[in-house]
Structure 1
Amino acid sequence: MSAIYILIPIAVVLVGFAIWLFVWAVDNGQYDDLDSPAHSILFDDEDPQHKAGVAEADKNGDKDEPRA
């Protein structure tokens, strides 16, 4: 029975912290746009290393044709 005197205040503090954390996340815009990250995986990024490799291959005359 004496454990309840310790557990109830701990539970109240944890619930209060969870509510504060949720309010903080909403105020900072964490839940504003949930669709863009899901769609961003569908589009390729412009990778500078890939562009540099393609430019170097074009400069050296490398083609996409298989070599015999």
Structure 2
Amino acid sequence: MNIFFLLAPFSLALGLAGLGAFWWTLRSGQYEDPAGDAARILIEDGDDRPA
């Protein structure tokens, strides 16, 4: 039972840290244009090729 008092706050803190990291990525605009990012990788642009 003593281990419960150690692991319960640790797991809550770890969960809150993950939630905080997710909130930070939302506010910094990481998920603004996922469709554009997925399509951009398929575009063959001549400027990107080495000389």
Fold equivalence (TM over 0.5) = yes
What's the counterpart of residue 42 of structure 2? 42
Q: Which amino acid aligns with 1:49?
A: P
* Identity within the alignment, %: 30
Spell out, residue by residue over 1:5-48, the C-alpha distance to the aligned partner (whole angstroms, 9 max, x if none): 00000011001101110110000001111011111122112236
1:2 aligns with 2:5: no
1:29, 1:40 → 2: CA distance? 17
> Which runs of no fewer than 5 residues in structure 1 stay unpaired?
51-68
Return 5+ residue gaps in structure 2 as ranges: none
Q: What SS is found at the alignment partner of 2:2?
A: coil
- TM-score of the superposition, structure 2-length normalised? 0.83
TM-score by length of 1: 0.65
The list of structure 1 runs, each at least 4 consecutive aligned residues, that deviate by more than 6 angstroms after superposition, is none
**Shift in Å, 1:49:** 3.2
- In structure 2, the CA distance between the partners of 1:47 and 1:15, relative to structure 1 (3 Å rule), is closer
Say if 1:38 and 1:20 are closer, same or farther in 2 by CA, change over 3 A. Answer: same
Q: Please tell me whether Structure 1 or Structure 2 has the larger radius of gyration of its CA atoms.
A: 1
